[in-house]
Chains A and B, each alone.
Chain A
Amino acid sequence: DAGITQSPRHKVTETGTPVTLRCHQTENHRYMYWYRQDPGHGLRLIHYSYGVKDTDKGEVSDGYSVSRSKTEDFLLTLESATSSQTSVYFCAIRTGGNAGELFFGEGSRLTVL
């Protein structure tokens, strides 16, 4: 089975501080994704990556940046956190199934005070 580790799993921070969430996969899957989950909105795509140093924006990318310097790691950065970025963040990988399904990590809960 594909393995994804997200860190930190929980974080409380203050408005205006930078925050970085890390997603680590144990296999060499090409596509990686960051979603946020909010009540009433389901999951919304923030950014995704289709290879080392290859990334693109999703539907809610404002206020977020990403980096992928190694195949196994995909970092999500909030340069200056705001209360509207309080959410649960999920990393996912495309595992190569014939339907294009994604495998998700356990999530990182971020609270911005």
Chain B
Amino acid sequence: GDSVTQMEGPVTLSEEAFLTINCTYTATGYPSLFWYVQYPGEGLQLLLKATKADDKGSNKGFEATYRKETTSFHLEKGSVQVSDSAVYFCALSGNDYKLSFGAGTTVTVRA
């Protein structure tokens, strides 16, 4: 079945550092791919998405490109802030109307 593997955390960075979180997937067909973010004590929010190969999703300075050849959707941000401290989840949606999630990566940004 469909599955998502993302890099394990936790990840600790200094402010203005470059962030990358790796995500790879296994799926049949052409899934849509997502990054969700969960701030402390809150639910999950959609951060960005991509629906087809070579699409780039972007939001709040974060970017991820749908790479079908490497089955990847890595999340990047060029200069993180303390407010980016959160748990990040990679997810995919196949043809069955369900989302499959990775285990989540906890990111802490120090001032």
Which A residues are within 8 Å of any B CB, using their own CB?
Answer: 31, 33, 35, 40-45, 48, 50, 58, 90, 92, 94, 97-107
Q: Are B42 and A106 interface neighbours, CB within 8 A?
A: yes
Contact flag A42-B102 (CB < 8 Å), given A50-B97, A99-B32, A101-B93: yes
Inter-chain residue pair count (beta carbon < 8 A) = 57
What's the nearest-Cβ distance from chain B to residue A58, in Å? 7
Q: Are A43 and B101 interface neighbours, CB within 8 A?
A: yes
Checking B43, B51, B93, B98 against A104 with a beta-carbon cut-off of 8 angstroms, the contacting residue is B43
B99 part of interface (Cβ distance < 8 Å) = yes
Q: Are A94 and B49 interface neighbours, CB within 8 A?
A: no
Q: Are A31 and B97 interface neighbours, CB within 8 A?
A: yes
- Complex Cα distance A99/B44, Å? 17
What's the nearest-Cβ distance from chain A to residue B9, in Å? 10
- Complex Cα distance A98/B49, Å? 10
| Nearest chain B residue, comparing its CB with the CB of A94 | B97
